[in-house]
Amino acid sequence: MNIVDLIIKKRDGLKLSNEEIKFFIEGTVNKSIPDYQISAMLMAIFLKGMDEFETACITQEMVKSGDVLDLSQISGIKVDKHSTGGIGDTTTLVLAPLVAACGLPVVKMSGRGLGFTGGTIDKMESIGLKIDIPMKTALDYVKKIGLVIMGQTANLAPADKILYALRDVTGTVESIPLIAASIMSKKIAAGSDAIVLDVKCGSGAFMQDFESAKALAKEMVAIGKNIGRKVIALITNMDEPLGLNIGNSLEVEEAVEILKGNVTGRLLDVSIELGANMLLLGKKADNIEQARQMLLDKIKNGEGYKKFLEFVAQQSDNFNGELVIHHAQHSFSLKAEKSGYIYSMTASQIGRASIETGAGRMTKEDKIDYTAGIIMKVRLSDYVNEGDEIAQIFSSTTEKCERAAKILSSAVNIKNEKPQTNKLIMDIIK
Ligand code: URA
Ligand code: CA
């Protein structure tokens, strides 16, 4: 087999066989194919696409390029959850303790934030939790309390790292089959039997329009079907931040308030919907209504928050039972410049404003200020009077607060008419 022939084949719109895809991925990882040929192939795939079978094959080969976690020591169906990334999106910290409290074990590998999306691992570190957990310890943790969330230690899907780095610099990131294979290969290598996906759609998401979000969701569900994993994808709206708090310890604070039953709203609603689908896939509930109720009951009876505290105690060295969350020293109150309805928000710009406070990274090496961030005081279609508070901004200096306020102010549009808003749960693909 010859990589040039395969590039030409894909360039001309023909389908690649399983053997040919295997050759491409193996050559990528063992470096027998140089970057320029890998990149040419990625561009050919970007332009000509891949069908369901090819996408399943490339996913499978990417899984095989590295370690595959063995979770067989934990009994029952292992269900994982993945979000394509949003703003104020801390569903994992809300749903993981609730789902675990319902008896479904959660073994979750999470990532760091980059650009305007946050990462669960950073949020955990903001309250002093350990995230570098050897696999053997992680399994012990799950056996003890049914829940562990950790950084990625194993060498999962190394082919994805190489392909993603090249896609990033060759204009080939936005390819549905390549995104689907990238996400699914990492989730499958992480050892789960079933996966609930949260595909974000809107001004603060990777997929800004419904049609592309749906295409990505369908592609990932199809991969699951083709390689024998149950996958359910929710398409959820990201035209505004999901929770009201944006920033690491601020988001933990909101998750805690939700688990204590003090706060409701969009973040709770999406967390319940994702968690309920996890319970269904894990066969802990007979139907979705029952599954939702089980999770809500765990908030009411305090068992969800209790599980969260067990999780905090398990993953920290000196937890005394009391969670203390600090806000940054300086704060700034952003006020409405005129009266009217909150007509639109550019959620990605709100994410940029939070980076400006110090809450996020632009490059992998950037240091995060865990105490920085934004608390939104308004939702889309709320009515505000001139001078009403739109958001509270927290940062280590007043200058950073002011810079963030400027960006945030331009991200929030106020008009005299009420906007048409999208549904929160836009679709479910299974
Ligand atoms: N997230 C991923 O993990 N991979 C992609 O290709 C895009 C988003
Ligand atoms: Ca996130």
Summarised one tens digit per residue, pLDDT across range 266-287 is 999 999 999 999 999 999 999 9
Dihedral (Cα; 182, 185, 189, 191), 10-degree rounding: 110
For residues 305 and 254, state if they share a domain: yes
pLDDT at 115 over 90: no
**What is the atom index within ligand 1 of the atom nearest the CA of 182?**
4
**Mean predicted confidence (pLDDT) in 41-55:** 98
- Regarding whether 108 and 229 lie in a shared domain, the answer is yes
Predicted TM-score (pTM) above 0.75: yes
Q: pLDDT value at position 318?
A: 85
Helices (H), 242-334: 248-259, 266-281, 288-300, 303-314
Per-residue model confidence (pLDDT) at position 116: 74
Q: How much is the pLDDT for 172?
A: 94
Whole-number pLDDT of residue 157 = 95
Catalytic residues: 82, 160, 167, 182, 186
pLDDT at 271: 98
pLDDT tens, position by position, 379-418? 999 999 999 999 999 999 999 999 999 999 999 999 999 9
Kindly calculate the radius of gyration of the chain based on its CA atoms and give it in whole angstroms.
22
Residues 237 and 151 in one domain: yes
Question: pLDDT over 70 for what percent of the chain?
Answer: 100
Share of residues in the chain with pLDDT > 90 (%): 93
pLDDT band at residue 171 using 50, 70 and 90 as cut-offs: very high
Q: Is residue 420 part of a domain?
A: no
Mean pLDDT, all residues of the chain = 96
Per the structure, how many domains does the chain have?
A: 3
* Strand order, beta sheet including 230-237: 79-83, 194-201, 230-237, 425-429
Q: Is residue 388 part of a domain?
A: yes
What residues flank ligand 1, with Cβ below 6 Å?
164, 178-179, 182-183
Segments forming the whole domain that contains residue 52 = 3-64
Question: 227 pLDDT exceeds 90?
Answer: yes
Residues 197, 278, single domain; the answer is yes
Q: Which strands sit side by side in the sheet containing 383-384, from one edge to the other?
A: 383-384, 340-345, 412-415
Whether 46 and 155 share a structural domain: no
Closest-CA residue to 243 (of 224, 225, 257, 222): 257
Residues 50 and 150 in one domain: no
Query: What is the number of other CB atoms lying within 10 angstroms of the CB of residue 168?
Result: 10
State the CATH number of the domain containing residue 88: 3.40.1030.10
Pocket test for ligand 1, best of 83, 179, 220 (most atoms within 8 A of CB): 179
Based on the fold, state whether residues 55 and 84 are members of the same structural domain: no
Confidence of residue 364 (pLDDT cuts 50, 70, 90): confident
Q: Minimum-distance ligand to the CA of 90?
A: 2
8-17, 51-60, 364-373: range with lowest mean pLDDT: 364-373
- Nearest CA to 283 out of 73, 77, 143, 80 is that of 77
Task: Take atom 7 of ligand 1 and give the residue whose Cα is closest.
Answer: 179
| Residue 429, domain member (yes or no) | no
For residue 426, tell me if it sits in a domain: no
Asked if residue 124 belongs to a domain, the reply is yes
- Indicate whether 66 pLDDT > 90: yes
Cα of 179 vs centre of ligand 1, distance in Å, is 5
pLDDT digits (tens, 9 = 90+) for 70-111: 999 999 999 999 999 899 999 999 999 999 999 999 999 998
- Examine the domain organization and report whether 129 and 264 are in the same domain: yes
Taking CA atoms only, the protein residue closest to ligand 1 atom 1 is 183
Query: Which ligand has its closest atom nearest to the C-alpha of 92?
Result: 2
**CATH code for the domain in which residue 43 is found:** 1.20.970.10
Is there a single domain that holds both residue 41 and residue 146? no
Instruction: Provide the CATH number for the domain around residue 341.
Output: 3.90.1170.30
250 and 368 share a domain?
A: no
- Nearest-atom number in ligand 1 for the CA of 183 is 3
Domain assignment present for residue 73? The answer is no
Mean pLDDT of 166-177: 94
103 and 215 assigned to the same domain: yes
pLDDT of residue 47: 98
- Per-residue confidence (pLDDT) for residue 163, from 0 to 100: 97
Say what the pLDDT of residue 124 is.
96
Phi/psi for 245 (5° steps) reads -95, 135
| Closest of 24, 38, 89, 43 to residue 241, by C-alpha | 89
140-153 residue pLDDT tens: 999 999 999 999 88
138 and 279 co-located in one domain = yes
Helix (H, G, I), strand (E, B) or coil at 245: strand
